[in-house]
Structure 1
Amino acid sequence: MTDAQYLNDACADKFPGFLGITTTEVGDSGVVAEMAVSPHHLAPNGFLHAGSVVSLADTACGNGCIALLPEGAAGFTTVELKSNHLGTVREGTIQCVAKPVHKGRTTQVWDATVSCQQTDKVLALFRCTQMILYPK
């Protein structure tokens, strides 16, 4: 099983690392990741940019997919994602809890909930599908 430190190291110099996304828990039942809200996460209107929320959720689900890749798989790619945004914040830390819904040999489907850590207010619901990649 891949651990949180491995995933954080892999993301450190990539887009998730730039955003400050940190994976805090990894297991068979899912992944927990968080991101402290900074000015560069905000839209021009001063509220959290939807892309920041989607990036957190997609990273959590993607890291979960990495941790649960089937034997022989070389990786994955996201083929579909959907988000429903229910609220926003201007500061604090947002957290994503991602859980696998389907762990197949060719696809995985993940659901995630993004919330404000300080208030537990749900900010977004997210679902994505990943295609599992195998060596040629």
Structure 2
Amino acid sequence: MHLNKKEILEQCAKMCPNTLLETLEISFSEVGEDYLIAKMPVTPKVHQPDGVLHGGAMVALAESVGSAASYIFLNSKDFFIRGIEISANHVKSVKEGYVFAKAEAIHRGRTTQLWSIKIRDEEENLISVIKLTTISLPKNK
């Protein structure tokens, strides 16, 4: 990695203000050599009408952590990262606490990247399994 772990988490935190990440209270909590973890509180703000975590909020969490991981691990100051495909399988409901999304690379190509993102609750129960494809688009100089 080109930055130390503390610097990476600080860089991720700088991406959050005035975005969906701030609205959903998503924060980045851990980084390793090949993964990035973000967490989100499960409150009525992200519930569906029957009081459980909305699947769309989980997908937003997953795309946020996967896109941030692409940006960080590709050292892509010359690229924009965009999600181009996402699929999710929600396997368990959660009503409160926090959920944690761990993005791990399946494929890190120059143009496209494929991420496996598992969302777990505070007891490590699997909540959702998500596959995200991102693309690196060159910034115009």
- TM > 0.5: yes
Partner SS for 1:43: coil
Amino acid at match of 2:92: G
Offset, 1:93: 0.6
| Amino-acid identity (%) | 26
Partner SS for 2:102: strand
- Structure 2 match to 1:22: 27
* Alpha-carbon distance in structure 2 between the residues aligned to 1:69 and 1:98: 14
**Moved runs in structure 1, 4+ residues, more than 3 A?**
70-73
Give deviations 1:101-120, integer Å, cap 9, x for gaps. Answer: 11111111100100101x21
Distance change (3 Å), C-alpha of 1:113 and 1:71: closer
How many pairs does the alignment contain?
Answer: 135
Task: Choose 108-117 or 9-18, whichever is displaced more.
Answer: 9-18
Tell me, which stretches of 5 or more residues in structure 2 are unaligned? none
- Structure 2 match to 1:5: 10
* Alpha-carbon distance in structure 1 between the residues aligned to 2:42 and 2:75: 34
In the superposition, the TM-score normalised over structure 2's length comes to 0.89
- Structure 2 match to 1:88: 93
- Return the match for 1:127 from 122, 126, 131: 131
In the superposition, the TM-score normalised over structure 1's length comes to 0.92
RMSD (CA atoms):
1.5
Q: How does 1:1-136 map to 2 (within 5 A)?
A: 1=2, 3-69=8-74, 73-117=78-122, 119-136=123-140
Offset, 1:69: 2.4
Amino acid at match of 1:44: P
* Alpha-carbon distance in structure 2 between the residues aligned to 1:18 and 1:72: 25
Distance change (3 Å), C-alpha of 1:72 and 1:20: closer
